[in-house]
């Protein structure tokens, strides 16, 4: 006699009222166990080459490769797709590594707006994009930070609202910079 291993006691499998909420363990259930698990989502092709160029210190080459990948992904998926947004964040990161932090901040602000459109203002992904933009802004010298503060505040307000944590911090830091100028 076949026994139900998912219940307590010695109830046979043909008594469905004794089974747990996940249902009756049937031959079709076990057949599914033999199939290979699904592969994780693919990383956009080209990121490995971008990474290799960046690690080798060839940031401008990495930026050119990222620009090409961005164009391909935008053509294939549109601007508001996760792959496109991630590559644009990579472009911001690489631009910062190339020593152009103000330009990198523009990429991060662009990606923040796109993430807010894709995920919504309260999404952890949008919040993380806001933190990245704010953190990069904090690395700018005081004069550059003052110049970039209005753009940062506008993007944060657009993406998350005027009372978001990042917007409040930006206003507070901007006031400190203005007082110290």
Strands (E) located in 83-130: none
150 in Cβ contact with 115 (< 8 Å): no
User: CB–CB of 147/175 below 8 Å?
Assistant: no
Give the per-residue pLDDT at 78.
Answer: 95
pLDDT at site 3 = 41
Q: What is the DSSP letter of 36?
A: P
Of 9-23, 64-78, 122-136, minimum mean pLDDT range: 9-23
For helices 142-160 and 101-119, give the axis angle rounded to 10 degrees.
10
3-state secondary structure of 3: strand
- For the chain, list the domains and their CATH numbers: 1-38 (no CATH), 47-180 (1.25.40.10)
Q: What is the pLDDT of residue 147?
A: 96
- The residues that bridge with 3 in the sheet, in sequence order, are 12
- Per-residue pLDDT for 107 more than 50? yes
**Predicted TM-score of the model (pTM):** 0.74
Q: What is the pLDDT of residues 49-106, one digit of tens each?
A: 999 999 999 999 999 999 999 999 999 999 999 999 999 999 999 999 999 999 999 9
In this structure, the number of other CB atoms found within 10 A of the CB of residue 177 comes to 16
Predicted local confidence at residue 46, as pLDDT:
85
CA 57 to chain centre: 24
């Amino acid at each position: 006699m076949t026994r139900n291993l998912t219940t307590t006691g010695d109830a046979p499998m043909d008594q469905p009222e004794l089974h747990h909420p996940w249902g009756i363990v049937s031959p079709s259930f076990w057949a599914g166990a033999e199939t290979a698990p699904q592969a994780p989502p693919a990383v956009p092709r080209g990121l490995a080459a971008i990474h290799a160029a960046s690690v080798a210190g060839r940031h401008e080459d990495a930026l050119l490769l990222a620009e090409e990948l961005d164009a391909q992904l935008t053509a294939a998926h549109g601007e508001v797709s996760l792959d496109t947004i991630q590559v644009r964040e990579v472009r911001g990161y690489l631009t910062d590594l190339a020593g152009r932090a103000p330009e990198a901040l523009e990429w991060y602000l662009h990606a923040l707006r796109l993430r807010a459109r894709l995920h919504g203002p309260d999404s952890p992904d949008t919040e993380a994009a806001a933190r990245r933009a704010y953190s990069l802004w904090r690395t700018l010298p005081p004069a550059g930070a003052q110049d970039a503060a209005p753009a940062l505040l506008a993007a944060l307000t657009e993406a998350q609202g005027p009372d978001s944590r990042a917007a409040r911090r930006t206003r507070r830091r901007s006031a400190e910079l203005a007082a110290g100028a």
